[in-house]
Amino acid sequence: MTDQIPSRSEGKSPLGASLLPWIAALAGRVGNFRKDLLAADSWAPAAGLGVELDRALSALEVPPSVPVLVVMLGGTGVGKSELFNALIDRPGASPSSDTVRCHTSQPFLAVHPLDRAHLPSLQGLEPILVEGGVPRGVVLADTPDIDGMIERHHGVTRQVLERADLVLFVTDPDRRANLQVLEELRRWAPRKRWLFVLTKADKYADTIDAIARDFAKRVEEIGFALDRESQFVVASVRPSDAGIERLRQAVLRPGDENRMPLLRQDAFLRQAAHALSAGHLHPFQMEADRLGALADRGRARQEQAYWEALSQPRAADAFARVVKQSAWKEISERSGPFLFPAVWARARMQPLATGWALTRGLRGGLLGVAGALGASALWALRGLSPLRHIAEALGESFRDTLSAVEHDARRALEDAGLDRIGVVGSVKGQGSTGSLAAKAEVPPGLGEAVDGFLKQWTLSDVHPELLGRVEQDVETAGRESARLATSGFGGVVSVFLGNALVAGMVGWVAWRLGKSWWLETDLSTSFFLQAATLVVVSLLPGMLFLAWRLANQVHPRRLRGLLGKHAGPIAGGQLERVRETAAGWFRQGMDIAKSLEEAQRLLSADLGADATWGTSLPARSAQPASHARKA
Amino acid sequence: MKLESFLNATDRLAALVPELLRLLGYREKLPTGWSALLERAGALRRQGGRLALVATLYGPTGAGKSTLFRNLTGIEVPAGDEIRPLSRGCAMAVPDQWDQADGEPALRAVLPGFDLRPLDRPERLRQEDGQGLVWYRSAERLGGESRSQAKADTPGLFLVDVPDFNSLEIANHERAERVLRRAEVVVFVVTGDSYADQKVVEELARCCQVAARLVILITKVASPEKAQLKWADLLNDKLTRTDLPWRAKFQGKREDGRTLEAFLRECPVHAWPFSAHPTLEDLRPVTAGAPTLASLLLGLDAEKVAAEGLLQAGASSAEWVGQLAGRADAARGERQRWRASLDDDLARAGLAVAGHEFPIGRTLEVLMEEARAGQNQVFRWITYPFSRISAWMQGGFQMVTEAIRSAIRKPTPGGELVRLEDAERKSLKRVAEELVDKWRDRWPAWVGSLDSGQCRKACDTLGAIALASPQTNWEEALRLSARDWVEKHPTWAHTLPVVLDLTTVGGLGLFVLDISTTGGLLGSHVVLGSLGAGGLMAGGAGLAAMLARMADNMHFKSVLEDADRAWREQRGREIAEHLRQHLLPGILGDKLKDADRLTSFPVEEMRRLAGELTRKPTHD
Ligand SMILES: Nc1nc2c(ncn2[C@@H]2O[C@H](COP(=O)(O)OP(=O)(O)OP(=O)(O)O)[C@@H](O)[C@H]2O)c(=O)[nH]1
Ligand SMILES: Nc1nc2c(ncn2[C@@H]2O[C@H](COP(=O)(O)OP(=O)(O)OP(=O)(O)O)[C@@H](O)[C@H]2O)c(=O)[nH]1
Ligand SMILES: [Mg+2]
Ligand SMILES: [Mg+2]
């Protein structure tokens, strides 16, 4: 994964140089991850996470000239408007009412005249602007209620809240335990920084301390570690109330050009970390596990069917035959210099024979050609028909198993809405395991060409991947049995003796030849005949020995041992790939979350000391489900 | 209408409705009216002659329910501001003699299904406890007025203080609602600032739906005038605004035909101004001259109000039962269409399995056999040698081709029939998988439980069961039509086999001639020679086929094809039946049975019963 800045903020670079490099790198990772997730939007958890990350990234796009937005959140009648007016010291700026509830229906923004041009965008809303009362760099927002009977109000408030840099959670003693407001707080908690305000202290003069403690408990239940710095008890209607003064000190201080970007980077980290919380990533792992179990089951089923099919006598026989064929090829490399030509010829017999028959046919006229074709076909068929037998053993019932596994895999993906997820982004695609493809690189000789043609003709109805697997197994078993036949004490001795015998004969012939050349005598024809015969005969014991050892190795009952653990699945590969993707996303999410947490700690060291920035949920303490206590 | 028949209708519905809910897959919460009907009807049954009224305080947390209860009854229940929500249990004030040991059974009849326990310590109400638990204690007076002054013949009023319905303590909500269902009278306690809370207005609507009498109490206001203004804002502004959904919600009808809104407008409204130590003296009706809350409660005509409570619950469930019936109708139509399309799919699948290719070669053979059988004796005797030789050659040719085939491929043991079965079994499997996929596609909700594992199980189960062999043989069917044709067209029937035999034998003759005269000029090998003969023979068959085609105007082919089709259709039906019996249960399980039950569900009876609920029950 490269640490590039995500496409969305590319070119804009809104924070310019003030974007901390380690945060920029993190943003790059988050951006790439988001792109992968959004590409798989048919899967709800991926799409949801993608959107969340998108939202987190948008925090980085706010230019530094935009002032800090401080927003109030609270139920109807808790005294938000009254508090707003008291804070900016403009009675009646946002009308409050003691009879009509759900009174405020529009956001009110208190803004410094010089900040008017840089207001955060609140699309579709028409906030009422109140000039003055706040220092430069800070905008204070009074909002409609969040629990009244007019639902539009809730939407308006949420929209303002989306942009908030700091939230004042406002409540009065009556409303402090209401489910609806506390739920709203819980939903936004991990994404924002907070201050908590309890109003109407004057009305409950005797009990307000106990009430404040009870309220703090509610807030702590959500996961906040509340300190006195971020909790305020106010009486907005009381002139020069100490609580109001303290809150004003905390919130309405001139903005600081250097710190604003930090605040937004913190918001990015916070929101991204929230999106990548364990609860949100959990579905990925669950899905990966589930798919993994399904894939394992499918694979086990295939394996079993495969071995059952191959252990049918006819197929097992045929398998042993082709394995022997391929083992000879392997042995030729291990047979020593003198036995080599014979072993090589033995291994090549199949294609050589077809090739030879064909070349002969080229000169024999029409009938000759027909005869040669027939002969080559017979030769080639001898090698191919065992393959055919194997393929047939892997016949209907095996193919049924395969298609069942394939169906199951597809349906399992459909069930989870994962069927349209390809292999996306970071997870590398796996090449097909077909060994046929690898072989085709060597230009085929005449014999092989005929073999290939015949193979196409005789085996055309065999599943190519299946054939590939059979061939691969044949090759593995051949290699393994060749190794076993030529190694160990017996193997080494037989190779040595076989070679020594031939070497002796060749040496003897060479000596005779040398001697006659030295003595300038002529050798009779019978000598040459005799020499050739002897050399050929001397090849036999070694060959026979090897053949015998090979026959011992390649026994139908021992084949499975030769092959050992098995390779990839033939059917249901998509399941495997999607599992890989889901697991990959889970790992990636966890990785990024860890880095985010680290970054958050670093940044908090800068920000946290100052109460101005409010308190925040400690990283990873977001409650997974409704915190409402149940009986 | 007799009370008895009202209760009977309720009982019958109580049996029908849950089953219908299951069949419809109803997941929403049951409406309070319905639960209230069951609750109140049960109470009425149990109480026999003594009718008791239950009144509940109902309101958001901190509204002052417990403070009011305390002030009215003198029973010490926890109240105050320090902890929110405070009350977690229900407290009930019972008339004087009712808390005696011998009063308990009668008490249980008033609140059947509730767990009643005497309240020994106020702390009980702060504890979390199970659902349906009510702590009771006697209170001689209610708001300073002695209960005995109330009508002597009524068993009295049972006042219940319940927990809130809007705090984060979710279990509280159900506890409060449980009592609400039983209570005929509701005192809705709400603070001046929460009258327009979403949750509060929702609950207010619920109370309007199920209560026989509703009293509004607005607490913690500056003055009764303010309370009146707030209530007017709710009634005249918020509930009438066309851009809000509430207007429609409060247009529902009550048992006497009034809308919920009209009912709400007529409810008495009381106010209780804010004070650190509120007393009953401050609590007064917002309209001057109206009775105080206590006398209002004590003055209720128990019998009348209890009847109204039952009727109101009946009315509000009747509407819902009617809706259910409508849903049942719609679902029934949908299920029927669904069954029809299932049948359709099965029939098609059956045909697809039965519909192997029309075997023209075998058809011709059958035809030749029938034609030969139809030749007259003399003619047969004359052509006998030819047909023998021809048959011998055909046999030989077949042997050779079989031999070649088996050299390359595994021979299939058994004849045509085995191959047919094989083909059927194979395509049955494929078709079953396809069907399952199709259904998963078409009814994602219906077949929602049909995950990949279940599909596999169903398909495997099907695969394990052998397909019964066809009732009538394809060849038999064909042979019958062929015989028919031969009888109708004797000339053609005589000529065809002869032509075939002659060409076959002619081929052999040519081959022998070739070997003996040119030493195999035309075919140098025996193999090639026999191939040549085979070719000729095939040519003969072709010629015969051509002749047969010429006989098309005699509907030879179509007759045979018709026979084939008829046979296939019959086989298709058999296979469809097989699928129905062995695939469907695995996939749909009880859904089929449920669909059938829904189709025969007594929806009309339900409608009739619902109608009975809306008529006034009276004592006889
Ligand atoms: N005694 C007292 N009354 C207050 C205080 N704050 C607000 N109020 C009163 O509470 C009532 C509601 O105040 P608002 O400011 O309108 O409440 P809000 O939260 O803006 O309400 P909506 O706009 O309806 O959401 C008004 O009558 C205020 O005068 C306070 O600190 N003490
Ligand atoms: N009932 C009532 N209480 C008032 C009024 N003004 C202030 N209060 C105070 O409001 C508080 C009401 O508390 P509770 O009676 O416990 O409220 P509740 O409705 O039982 O609340 P939960 O038990 O939490 O559901 C008490 O502390 C009262 O003193 C008023 O006008 N009426
Ligand atoms: Mg306001
Ligand atoms: Mg209470």
User: How would residue A368 be classed by pLDDT, with cut points 50, 70 and 90?
Assistant: confident
Mutate to test the interface with A, among B61, B65, B67, B82 (most CBs of A within 10 A): B82
Residue B279 has what pLDDT? 93
Per-residue pLDDT, averaged over B324-342, amounts to: 90
pLDDT tens, position by position, A12-57: 344 444 678 888 899 999 999 999 898 887 888 898 899 989 988 9
Please check the confidence at residue A490 and state whether its pLDDT lies above 90. no
Q: Residue B595: which of B380, B341, B315 has the closest Cα?
A: B341
The verdict on A251 and A307 lying in the same domain is: no
Residue A93 has what pLDDT? 95
How many Å apart are CA A608 and CA A611, to the nearest integer? 7
pLDDT tens, position by position, B24-34: 988 899 999 99
Question: Taking CB atoms and an 8 Å limit, are A207 and B460 in contact across chains?
Answer: no
Higher-pLDDT residue of B245 and A193 is B245
The verdict on A311 and A454 lying in the same domain is: yes
Element housing B355 (H / E): none
In a domain, A389, yes or no: yes
> 249-278 in A: which are within 8 Å (CB) of B?
none
Mutation to probe ligand 2, out of B57, B67, B172, B180 (largest number of atoms < 8 A from CB): B67
Residue B135 has what pLDDT? 95
Whether omega for the bond prior to residue A45 falls within 30 degrees of 0, making it cis, is no
Residue B522 has what pLDDT? 54
Strands B284-285 and B269-273: antiparallel
Mutate to test the interface with A, among B81, B191, B424 (most CBs of A within 10 A): B81
User: How would residue A625 be classed by pLDDT, with cut points 50, 70 and 90?
Assistant: very low
User: How would residue A584 be classed by pLDDT, with cut points 50, 70 and 90?
Assistant: very high
Average model confidence (pLDDT) across chain A = 81
Per-residue pLDDT, averaged over B135-159, amounts to: 75
Q: Ligand 2 within 6 A of B156 CB?
A: no
In a domain, A25, yes or no: no
Per-residue pLDDT, averaged over A355-380, amounts to: 72
How many Å apart are CA B100 and CA B114, to the nearest integer? 18
Atom of ligand 2 nearest to the CA of B282: 31
Contacts of A381 in chain B (CB under 8 A): 408
Residues 6+ apart with CB under 8 A from A289: none
Residue B73 has what pLDDT? 93
**Per-residue DSSP letters for B68-97?**
HHHHHH-------SSSSS---SEEEEE-GG
How many Å apart are CA A447 and CA B146, to the nearest integer? 117
Contacts of B169 in chain A (CB under 8 A): 177, 628-629
**Per-residue DSSP letters for B93-129?**
EE-GGGGSGGGHHHHHHHSTTSEEEE---GGGGGS--
Per-residue pLDDT, averaged over A442-467, amounts to: 65
In a domain, A611, yes or no: no
Mutation to probe ligand 1, out of A97, A150, A198 (largest number of atoms < 8 A from CB): A97
The verdict on A330 and A250 lying in the same domain is: no
Which chain B residue is nearest to residue A390, measuring alpha carbons? B410
**Per-residue DSSP letters for B164-213?**
-SSBS-HHHHHHHHHHHHH-SEEEEEEETTSTTBHHHHHHHHHHHHH-SE
Q: Ligand 2 within 6 A of B191 CB?
A: no
The verdict on A74 and A140 lying in the same domain is: yes
Query: In the sheet that A68-73 helps form, which strands lie side by side, from edge to edge?
Result: A128-131, A108-111, A138-142, A68-73, A166-171, A193-198, A231-233
CA of residue B179 to ligand 3 center, whole Å: 35
Please check the confidence at residue A435 and state whether its pLDDT lies above 50. no
pLDDT tens, position by position, A517-573: 888 888 888 888 888 898 888 888 888 888 888 888 877 667 767 776 555 556 777
Q: How far is A496 from chain B (nearest CA, A)?
A: 42
Helical residues (DSSP H) of A363-444, grouped into ranges: 365-393, 396-415, 435-439
Mutate to test the interface with A, among B198, B428, B450 (most CBs of A within 10 A): B198
Residue B402 has what pLDDT? 66
A352 to each of A169, A385, A573, how far by Cα in Å?
A: 88, 17, 38
In CATH, what number is assigned to the domain containing residue A158? 3.40.50.300
Contacts of A390 in chain B (CB under 8 A): none
Q: Which own/partner pairs from B263-266 qualify as long-range (CB within 8 Å, at least 24 positions apart)?
A: B263/B208, B263/B214, B264/B204, B264/B208, B264/B214, B264/B235, B264/B239, B265/B235
Burial of A557 (0-12, 13-18, 19+ CB in 10 A): exposed
Q: Ligand 1 within 6 A of A455 CB?
A: no
Touching check for A458 and chain B: CB below 8 Å? yes
How many Å apart are CA B128 and CA B133, to the nearest integer? 10
Please check the confidence at residue A330 and state whether its pLDDT lies above 80. yes
Element housing A275 (H / E): helix A259-275
Which chain B residue is nearest to residue A204, measuring alpha carbons? B276
The verdict on A622 and A564 lying in the same domain is: no
B141-150, B329-338, B394-403, B542-551: which has the minimum mean pLDDT?
B542-551
For residues A24, A29, A34, A40, the Cα torsion angle rounded to the nearest 10 degrees is 160
Q: Report angle CA B334, B340, B346 to the nearest 5 degrees.
A: 135
Higher-pLDDT residue of A437 and B320 is B320
Per-residue pLDDT, averaged over A616-623, amounts to: 55
How many Å apart are CA B438 and CA B450, to the nearest integer? 12
Please state the domain extents for chain B. 32-300, 357-588
The alpha carbon of residue A222 and the mean position of all alpha carbons in its chain are separated, in whole angstroms, by: 33
Residues 6+ apart with CB under 8 A from A36: A424, A425, A426, A585
The verdict on A316 and A454 lying in the same domain is: yes
Question: Which CATH number among 3.30.160.20, 3.90.110.10, 3.40.50.300, 3.40.50.1820 corresponds to the domain B32-300?
Answer: 3.40.50.300
The verdict on A182 and A326 lying in the same domain is: no
Residue nearest to atom 2 of ligand 1 (CA): A200
Residue A143 has what pLDDT? 97
Residue A408 has what pLDDT? 84
pLDDT tens, position by position, A215-253: 999 999 998 888 888 899 999 999 889 999 999 988 887
Bridge partners (DSSP) of residue B221 are: B273
The verdict on A503 and A550 lying in the same domain is: yes
Residue B361 has what pLDDT? 62
Residue A284 has what pLDDT? 92
In a domain, A380, yes or no: yes
Question: Taking CB atoms and an 8 Å limit, are A408 and B84 in contact across chains?
Answer: no
Would you state the structure tokens that stand for residue B618, as one six-digit string? 């009276």
Residue B544 has what pLDDT? 63
Question: Taking CB atoms and an 8 Å limit, are A147 and B455 in contact across chains?
Answer: no
Q: Choose among A148, A206, A629: nearest Cβ to B276.
A: A206
Q: Residue A626: which of A185, A215, A277 has the closest Cα?
A: A185
Please check the confidence at residue B603 and state whether its pLDDT lies above 50. yes
Contacts of A151 in chain B (CB under 8 A): 198
Higher-pLDDT residue of B344 and B523 is B344
A129-138, B272-281, B297-306, B420-429: which has the minimum mean pLDDT?
B420-429
The SS3 of residue A564 is: coil
Residue nearest to atom 32 of ligand 1 (CA): A200
For residues B225, B226, B229, B234, the Cα torsion angle rounded to the nearest 10 degrees is -130
Interface size between A and B, measured as CB pairs under 8 A: 153
Please check the confidence at residue A624 and state whether its pLDDT lies above 50. no
Of A180-194, A256-270, B458-472, which has the strongest mean pLDDT? A180-194
Q: Which residue has the tokens 């808390």?
A: B99
Q: How many domains does chain A have?
A: 2
Bridge partners (DSSP) of residue B116 are: B134
The alpha carbon of residue A182 and the mean position of all alpha carbons in its chain are separated, in whole angstroms, by: 36
How many Å apart are CA B404 and CA A378, to the nearest integer? 12
Residue A64 has what pLDDT? 77
Q: Which residue has the tokens 């209610």?
A: B142
CA of residue A172 to ligand 1 center, whole Å: 9
Q: Residue A69: which of A110, A29, A31 has the closest Cα?
A: A110
User: How would residue B339 be classed by pLDDT, with cut points 50, 70 and 90?
Assistant: confident
pLDDT tens, position by position, B57-89: 999 999 999 999 999 999 999 999 999 999 999
How many Å apart are CA A246 and CA A260, to the nearest integer? 22
Would you state the structure tokens that stand for residue B206, as one six-digit string? 């619920």
Residue A437 has what pLDDT? 35
**Do the beta carbons of residue A55 and residue A271 sit within 8 Å?**
yes
% of chain A at pLDDT higher than 70: 80
Structural domain span for residue A475 = 292-425+444-581
Per-residue pLDDT, averaged over A165-185, amounts to: 95
User: Which residues lie near ion ligand 3 (Cβ < 5 Å)?
Assistant: A 80-81, 103-104
Contacts of A408 in chain B (CB under 8 A): 452-453, 455-456
**Do the beta carbons of residue B440 and residue B454 sit within 8 Å?**
no
Secondary structure of A19-59 in HEC code, one letter for each residue: CCHHHHHHHHHHHHHHHHHHHCCCCHHHHHHHHHHHHHHHH
Please check the confidence at residue B416 and state whether its pLDDT lies above 50. no
Residue B562 has what pLDDT? 75
Please check the confidence at residue A618 and state whether its pLDDT lies above 80. no
In a domain, A431, yes or no: no
Q: Residue B89: which of B43, B51, B122 has the closest Cα?
A: B122
Please check the confidence at residue B211 and state whether its pLDDT lies above 50. yes
Please check the confidence at residue B530 and state whether its pLDDT lies above 80. no
**Do the beta carbons of residue A3 and residue A28 sit within 8 Å?**
yes
The SS3 of residue A7 is: helix
In a domain, A59, yes or no: no
Please check the confidence at residue A619 and state whether its pLDDT lies above 80. no
How many Å apart are CA A588 and CA A593, to the nearest integer? 8
The verdict on A479 and A380 lying in the same domain is: yes
How many Å apart are CA A322 and CA A312, to the nearest integer? 15
Instruction: Count the neighbouring beta carbons within 10 Å of the beta carbon of residue B168.
Output: 25
pTM over 0.80, yes/no: no
How many Å apart are CA B481 and CA B479, to the nearest integer? 5
Residues 6+ apart with CB under 8 A from B376: none
pLDDT tens, position by position, B91-120: 999 987 777 766 778 888 889 889 999 999
Residue A228 has what pLDDT? 85
Contacts of A97 in chain B (CB under 8 A): none
How many Å apart are CA B63 and CA B171, to the nearest integer? 18
Provide the b/e sequence for A111-130 (b: ≥16 CB within 10 Å). Answer: bbeebeeebbebeeeebeeb
Higher-pLDDT residue of A206 and B479 is A206
How many Å apart are CA B10 and CA B15, to the nearest integer? 9
The distance between the two most distant Cα atoms of chain A, rounded to a whole number of Å, is 138
User: How would residue A622 be classed by pLDDT, with cut points 50, 70 and 90?
Assistant: very low
In a domain, A517, yes or no: yes
pLDDT tens, position by position, A436-449: 333 344 455 666 66
Q: Which own/partner pairs from A4-12 qualify as long-range (CB within 8 Å, at least 24 positions apart)?
A: A4/A28, A4/A31, A4/A32, A5/A31, A6/A30, A6/A31, A6/A32, A6/A34, A6/A35, A6/A57, A7/A31, A7/A35, A8/A54, A8/A57, A8/A58, A8/A61, A9/A57, A9/A60, A9/A61, A12/A61
Q: Ligand 1 within 6 A of A410 CB?
A: no
How many Å apart are CA B379 and CA B386, to the nearest integer? 12
How many Å apart are CA A237 and CA A255, to the nearest integer? 27
Would you state the structure tokens that stand for residue A7, as one six-digit string? 């496409």
Of A358-372, A386-400, B236-250, which has the strongest mean pLDDT? B236-250
Question: Taking CB atoms and an 8 Å limit, are B429 and A400 in contact across chains?
Answer: yes
| Per-residue DSSP letter, B2 | B
Higher-pLDDT residue of A257 and B357 is A257
Please check the confidence at residue B393 and state whether its pLDDT lies above 90. no
Residue B249 has what pLDDT? 95
Phi-psi region of A86 (alpha: psi -120 to 50; beta: other; left: phi over 0): alpha
Q: Ligand 2 within 6 A of B394 CB?
A: no
Q: How far is A459 from chain B (nearest CA, A)?
A: 10
Element housing B615 (H / E): none
